[in-house]
Structure 1
Protein backbone atom coordinates (compact mmCIF):
# COMPACT_ATOMS: atom_id res chain seq x y z
CA UNK A 1 0.00 0.00 0.00
CA UNK A 2 2.81 2.41 0.88
CA UNK A 3 4.58 1.73 -2.41
CA UNK A 4 1.45 2.63 -4.37
CA UNK A 5 1.13 5.87 -2.42
CA UNK A 6 4.72 6.83 -3.17
CA UNK A 7 4.27 6.05 -6.85
CA UNK A 8 1.09 8.12 -7.09
CA UNK A 9 2.69 10.92 -5.06
CA UNK A 10 5.77 10.88 -7.28
CA UNK A 11 3.65 11.06 -10.42
CA UNK A 12 1.75 14.03 -8.98
CA UNK A 13 4.98 15.87 -8.24
CA UNK A 14 6.35 15.15 -11.70
CA UNK A 15 3.13 16.38 -13.33
CA UNK A 16 3.11 19.55 -11.22
CA UNK A 17 6.70 20.43 -12.14
CA UNK A 18 5.97 19.87 -15.85
CA UNK A 19 3.06 22.35 -15.94
CA UNK A 20 3.38 25.29 -18.30
CA UNK A 21 4.25 28.68 -16.85
CA UNK A 22 7.01 31.21 -16.32
CA UNK A 23 9.69 30.24 -13.81
CA UNK A 24 12.79 32.17 -12.67
CA UNK A 25 15.75 30.05 -13.77
CA UNK A 26 19.16 31.65 -13.16
CA UNK A 27 21.02 34.99 -12.87
CA UNK A 28 23.70 36.13 -15.30
CA UNK A 29 26.26 38.92 -15.16
CA UNK A 30 25.64 40.00 -18.77
CA UNK A 31 22.62 40.25 -21.02
CA UNK A 32 24.47 38.34 -23.76
CA UNK A 33 25.10 35.36 -21.46
CA UNK A 34 21.45 35.34 -20.41
CA UNK A 35 20.29 35.41 -24.05
CA UNK A 36 22.67 32.64 -25.08
CA UNK A 37 21.55 30.30 -22.29
CA UNK A 38 17.90 31.00 -23.11
CA UNK A 39 18.43 30.24 -26.80
CA UNK A 40 20.26 27.02 -25.98
CA UNK A 41 17.43 25.84 -23.72
CA UNK A 42 14.84 26.57 -26.44
CA UNK A 43 16.93 24.91 -29.18
CA UNK A 44 17.40 21.81 -27.01
CA UNK A 45 13.63 21.60 -26.52
CA UNK A 46 13.91 21.93 -22.74
CA UNK A 47 11.73 25.06 -22.60
CA UNK A 48 9.31 26.74 -25.01
CA UNK A 49 10.39 30.34 -24.47
CA UNK A 50 12.67 32.52 -22.37
CA UNK A 51 13.00 36.09 -21.16
CA UNK A 52 15.96 38.07 -19.81
CA UNK A 53 15.08 40.93 -17.49
CA UNK A 54 17.17 43.25 -15.35
CA UNK A 55 17.13 42.09 -11.73
CA UNK A 56 19.81 44.31 -10.18
CA UNK A 57 22.68 43.57 -10.06
CA UNK A 58 22.15 40.68 -12.51
CA UNK A 59 20.12 39.61 -15.54
CA UNK A 60 17.41 37.12 -14.59
CA UNK A 61 16.64 34.35 -17.05
CA UNK A 62 13.03 33.23 -16.76
CA UNK A 63 11.83 30.22 -18.73
CA UNK A 64 8.42 29.15 -19.99
CA UNK A 65 7.76 25.42 -19.91
Structure 2
Protein backbone atom coordinates (compact mmCIF):
# COMPACT_ATOMS: atom_id res chain seq x y z
CA UNK A 1 0.00 0.00 0.00
CA UNK A 2 1.53 3.28 -1.13
CA UNK A 3 -0.53 6.02 0.46
CA UNK A 4 0.64 9.58 0.54
CA UNK A 5 1.31 10.93 3.99
CA UNK A 6 -0.35 14.16 4.95
CA UNK A 7 1.84 17.10 5.84
CA UNK A 8 0.81 16.68 9.48
CA UNK A 9 1.84 13.00 9.45
CA UNK A 10 5.18 13.88 7.86
CA UNK A 11 5.81 16.54 10.51
CA UNK A 12 4.86 14.10 13.26
CA UNK A 13 7.26 11.49 11.88
CA UNK A 14 9.99 14.11 11.56
CA UNK A 15 9.47 15.20 15.14
CA UNK A 16 9.58 11.60 16.36
CA UNK A 17 12.88 11.03 14.58
CA UNK A 18 14.32 14.26 15.99
CA UNK A 19 13.22 13.29 19.49
CA UNK A 20 14.83 9.86 19.13
CA UNK A 21 18.08 11.51 18.05
CA UNK A 22 17.95 13.91 21.01
CA UNK A 23 17.35 11.01 23.39
CA UNK A 24 20.28 9.11 21.90
CA UNK A 25 22.60 12.11 22.25
CA UNK A 26 21.39 12.69 25.83
CA UNK A 27 22.14 9.05 26.67
CA UNK A 28 25.63 9.43 25.22
CA UNK A 29 26.19 12.58 27.29
CA UNK A 30 24.95 10.84 30.44
CA UNK A 31 27.27 7.89 29.82
CA UNK A 32 30.20 10.26 29.29
CA UNK A 33 29.44 12.14 32.50
CA UNK A 34 29.12 8.88 34.40
CA UNK A 35 32.48 7.71 33.03
CA UNK A 36 34.11 10.99 33.98
CA UNK A 37 32.70 10.76 37.50
CA UNK A 38 34.15 7.26 37.72
CA UNK A 39 37.54 8.52 36.57
CA UNK A 40 37.42 11.34 39.10
CA UNK A 41 37.02 8.88 41.96
CA UNK A 42 39.73 6.53 40.66
CA UNK A 43 42.40 9.14 39.91
CA UNK A 44 44.86 10.15 42.57
CA UNK A 45 43.84 13.49 44.03
CA UNK A 46 47.47 14.57 43.83
CA UNK A 47 47.44 14.33 40.05
CA UNK A 48 46.29 17.91 39.43
CA UNK A 49 46.59 17.75 35.65
CA UNK A 50 44.33 14.73 35.36
CA UNK A 51 41.80 16.23 37.78
CA UNK A 52 41.82 19.49 35.81
CA UNK A 53 41.28 17.63 32.53
CA UNK A 54 38.39 15.67 34.03
CA UNK A 55 36.77 18.85 35.37
CA UNK A 56 37.11 20.51 31.97
CA UNK A 57 35.44 17.54 30.25
CA UNK A 58 32.69 17.43 32.89
CA UNK A 59 31.90 21.10 32.34
CA UNK A 60 31.82 20.58 28.58
CA UNK A 61 29.50 17.60 28.92
CA UNK A 62 27.26 19.43 31.40
CA UNK A 63 26.93 22.34 28.97
CA UNK A 64 25.58 19.93 26.36
CA UNK A 65 22.74 18.86 28.63
TM bucket by the smaller chain? 0.3 to 0.5
What's the TM-score, normalizing by structure 1?
0.36
Higher helix share: 2
What's the TM-score, normalizing by structure 2?
0.36
Higher strand share: 1
**Which of these two proteins has the greater Rg computed from alpha carbons?**
2
